[in-house]
Chains A and B, each alone.
Chain A
Amino acid sequence: MKCNEMPEILVTYLYDESTQEEAKKVRAHLKTCSRCRKSFEELKQTSGLLSRWEDQSPGISLVFVNEPFARWKSWKEHWNSIGWTRRLSLALPVLAVCVLLVLSALNFQARLDNGRFEIGLSLWPHPQGVSSEDLQSLLVDFRRETLQLTSQLLDEREFRQNQAVTSQLVRFAQDIERQRVHDLMLVGQGLEGLQFSTEKRLDQTSEVLRRMIQLANFNPDGR
């Protein structure tokens, strides 16, 4: 054992972490080397003095319960604990999307052109310089177009209504026709029945008359 290797060996021995074999060697060296012996005694003294500082009671009592916002908070903690580069790499895309959304919201464009409705989202602002006359004429055009469209709508609606009424009338007429045919058939059948029964009656009556005539012929002095 060399003296210049002793510091690490001595503290290991002091705190009882040497192997049995190593401890034996240390004791042997300390017997022969006064410098290391002195050094070891001082270490032991200092350590002994340190042990006079006893543990104190913390005087706190922490009890943990489930937090309702634990997830959000842990995310926040995570955010705080990560480095700037990671933060930047997380934040930049989000920021970019936000900026895009704001820009497109600012330049939101809706147009009504010859009855065609157009919606435009654009990244760049549209030219702004519109005079009040232009605006007026635009407004007039817009009104006219609206009027046209409204009248078109009305026309269309009327047409559709007419169509509906016509088709209903046609169906109604067809229904009436069918009903009439049916009724006529019933009347025909009824008339036939009547004719038949009338003929039968007439036959019966003529038969009775014939018998009466016969009876009258057999009994000439009946009256």
Chain B
Amino acid sequence: MTDGALVKRYLNGETQAFNTLVWRYEKPLYNFILRNMGNEDTARDLCQTAFIRMFRQLKRLRDPEKFAPWMYRIALNLCRDEFKKKKNKKFFYLDENPGDHSANTMTNIADENTPSPEDLCHQEQITEILKRSLLGLPEEQRVVIIMKQYQGLKFTEIADILETPVNTVKSRLYSGLRGLRQILEESRFNKEVLFHEM
């Protein structure tokens, strides 16, 4: 059954149809938010909030077939709000401890309580390095990379979600991939792991 059919069923009073949509998109949406935010707890919270928001606002969706783009827009807005909150907190923290931040950008980006990649096994190291590197990119580039690389969306679909021309999406992806490579090459983390992979 298409997303649109499920949306219509839900709007006709079948709550179960919405649960089907949740089961369909729970994992992709969670991973989208996780890769954008870099923290599992935050991703879980935002994912739940996103679905609750969808559940309540679904009747305002004009074209039921456009459920997925609408869902991504809601998730993106939630991520942006969360980033703003974190940014404010971080500034506060830095003001209190002016000399406490390390020179390396990578360690600043990730949360203090996440383990450093050196402590992890091979697969986990790669995940951790990628997580931190992605967070080092501008949001507009990171989002496009995640949508293309992991969500498997078409360029036109990404353009639709972001309400941006397709060519802009493509150039953001190009700059993002190049920027990411640069971050990875400059990182102090186990280069052998990376070059072995690359």
In the complex, whether A97 has a CB less than 8 A from a CB of chain B is no
Known contacts A17-B155, A70-B56, A74-B57; is-contact A50 B145 (Cβ 8 Å): yes
Q: Say how far A66's CB is from chain B's closest CB, in angstroms.
A: 5
Residues in B with CB closer than 8 Å to A55 are 27-28, 31, 150
A48 touches B198 (CB 8 A): yes
Contact bitstring B63-95, A, C-beta under 8 A = 1, else 0: 000000000000000000000000000000000
B177 touches A47 (CB 8 A): yes
B27 touches A43 (CB 8 A): no
Residues in B with CB closer than 8 Å to A62 are 19, 22, 26, 48, 51
The stretch among B98-106, B110-118, B167-175 that forms the contact with chain A is: B167-175
Known contacts A56-B30, A60-B26; is-contact A46 B177 (Cβ 8 Å): yes
Known contacts A53-B127, A60-B26; is-contact A43 B56 (Cβ 8 Å): no
- With A and B bound together, what is the CA distance between A60 and B29 in angstroms? 12
Number of interface residues of B (CB under 8 A): 47
In the complex, whether A93 has a CB less than 8 A from a CB of chain B is no
In the complex, whether A15 has a CB less than 8 A from a CB of chain B is yes
Known contacts A50-B149, A62-B22, A74-B56; is-contact A7 B126 (Cβ 8 Å): no
Within 8 A of A (CB), among B97-148: 123, 126-127, 130-131, 145, 148
- With A and B bound together, what is the CA distance between A56 and B29 in angstroms? 11
Q: Say how far A82's CB is from chain B's closest CB, in angstroms.
A: 11
B57 touches A77 (CB 8 A): yes
Q: Say how far B172's CB is from chain A's closest CB, in angstroms.
A: 9
Contact bitstring B156-198, A, C-beta under 8 A = 1, else 0: 0000000000010011011101101100100000000010011
Sample of 18 further A-B pairs with CB below 8 A, known A46-B181, A53-B130 = A8-B167, A11-B170, A12-B155, A43-B177, A43-B178, A45-B198, A46-B180, A49-B126, A49-B130, A53-B126, A53-B127, A55-B31, A58-B27, A60-B44, A62-B22, A62-B26, A70-B56, A81-B57
List 16 A–B pairs whose Cβ atoms lie within 8 Å, in order of A's numbering: A10-B174, A15-B155, A17-B155, A46-B180, A47-B149, A49-B194, A50-B130, A50-B145, A50-B180, A52-B126, A53-B131, A54-B127, A55-B28, A58-B43, A64-B19, A77-B53
> Contact residues of B with A, CB < 8 Å?
15, 18-19, 22, 26-28, 30-31, 34-35, 40, 43-44, 47-48, 51, 53, 55-57, 59, 123, 126-127, 130-131, 145, 148-150, 154-155, 167, 170-171, 173-175, 177-178, 180-181, 184, 194, 197-198
